[in-house]
Amino acid sequence: MVSLSERRYFSVFKDESKLDINYVPSSLPHREQQLNFLNHFFRFAVESPGRMAQRVLIMGKIGTGKTVLSQRFGINIMREAKEKGINLHYVHINCRECKGSPFQILQRTILEFYPHFPRRGYSAEDILKMLMDVLDEQNAYLILAMDELDALIRSAGSDPIYGLTRVQEGRLGAPQRLSLLCILRQPEYLDMLDPSTRSTLQRNLIQLEEYSANQLKDILSDRIALAFRSGTVSEQTLGFVADSAASEGGDARYAIELLWRAGKYADASESPMILPEHVRKAAVSIYPVVRKDMISSLGLHEKLFLLGVARHLKQTGNAYLSMGDAEEAYGVVCEEHNEKRRGHTQLWKYVKELTALGIIETEISSIGQRGKTTLIGLPKVPAIDLERELSDMLHAKKR
């Protein structure tokens, strides 16, 4: 038992990094079968490299383990390839962080091979050709994982994906060096692809289902052993966190963040254990549909636009604001941050993007208002909390 004199300096945490969103655990409870599928699909890469290329699609809702499954596979297959003397690279690119730009996606990919590659002056098609030349020069093979593929589909449609899946057709007789691992959240985006590209991606599909409460307990148990001091998380607290996350769609990311925040509340209250009350406090501070990692991945002007929406709704107390009011509020925020405001067409794209993410909701104005306009609301997060979160992020970026 920790004494009162020692408690002030005591933390329930042993290693907080094991709860970080970017941490890739060595084992993936309840995703072993899917990991075996990936190993099977890409077996050729370590047994007969260059003989073929592969395209695999991982699909599932938020928090079902898509990203960590892909990254764990990438770490494993690169280690095996290195042991066999094969120059295999796994490169993981988040399409949303690249704003859905084919150019940025390919540029970030080639930077893995040439860190000083020029950041402008080439088209996406030029970079793809140069990437294939680099792979030939280095006798290298690449598994390119494109996470949050929906951002690329929304931005550029089928053409970039079609080009990546067909790049080998212009290299008859050359080794097949580029394979694709695509990660998609919502299946309806597949309908936005042309039939040929859609068929290619769906040929090898891994569908991830939501985690149950018991499965979440297993995942959390592994993380607790890595992240917390022994005896600081009881079975009761573990079950409480798992049940809370299960009620929010079986979201493992939410479960891990909830546990981390509960640990912070325990430390703040100088408690030697994480109690259910700490979990309750943590749950109040987290909005499962709009988590901090989702907000932080938005582009600068998406954040500025969303800040304008949140501020207007907080000040007026209304449930919705019109698209015109949103544009005016965005303009004010841009002036505060010395940013040149974007045009109506670009702002409308932001509205569609934020709606697809579930951060905002839209509806057409009802009868009684002059004309028809799009109304914007915040369905899952209080305006005051969203305003505070965005303001903190933007000021931190300035610093």
Residue ranges and CATH numbers for the domains of the chain are 4-19+211-285 (1.10.8.60), 32-208 (3.40.50.300), 292-398 (1.10.10.10)
pLDDT of residue 41: 97
Gap between the terminal Cα atoms of the chain: 42
178-184 and 205-208 strand pairing: unpaired
pLDDT of residue 171: 84
pTM over 0.75: yes
* Structure token pair of residue 158: 């089928």
**Beta-bridge partner residues of 208:** 60
Buried b (16+ CB within 10 A) or exposed e, 321-357: bbbebbbebbbebbeeeeeebbeeeebeebbebbebb
| DSSP state letters, 261-311 | HHHHHHHHTT-SSB-HHHHHHHHHH--TTS-HHHHHTS-HHHHHHHHHHHH
- Burial of 142: CB neighbours in 10 Å, binned 0-12, 13-18, 19+: buried
Answer for the pair 201, 55: CB distance below 8 angstroms, yes or no.
yes
**Cα 370 from Cα 143, distance rounded (Å):** 54
| DSSP state letters, 341-395 | PP-HHHHHHHHHHHHHTTSSEEEEPPBTBSS--EEEE-SSS-HHHHHHHHHHHHH
CB atoms within 10 A of CB 25: 14
| DSSP state letters, 105-132 | HHHHHHHTT-TT--SSS--HHHHHHHHH
**Cα 253 from Cα 292, distance rounded (Å):** 11
Q: What are phi and psi of 371, to 5 degrees?
A: 70, -175
Tens digit of pLDDT for each residue in 227-285?
999 999 999 999 999 998 998 889 999 999 999 999 999 999 999 999 999 999 888 77
Ranges of residues in the chain whose predicted pLDDT is under 70:
1-9, 287-292, 365-371, 380, 398-399
Q: What's the per-residue H, E or C state across 180-197?
A: EEEEECCHHHHHHCCHHH
Tens digit of pLDDT for each residue in 28-38?
999 999 999 99
**Cα 244 from Cα 217, distance rounded (Å):** 11
The 8-class DSSP code of residue 170 comes to: G
**Cα 63 from Cα 237, distance rounded (Å):** 20
The SS3 call for residue 50 is: coil
pLDDT of residue 247: 84
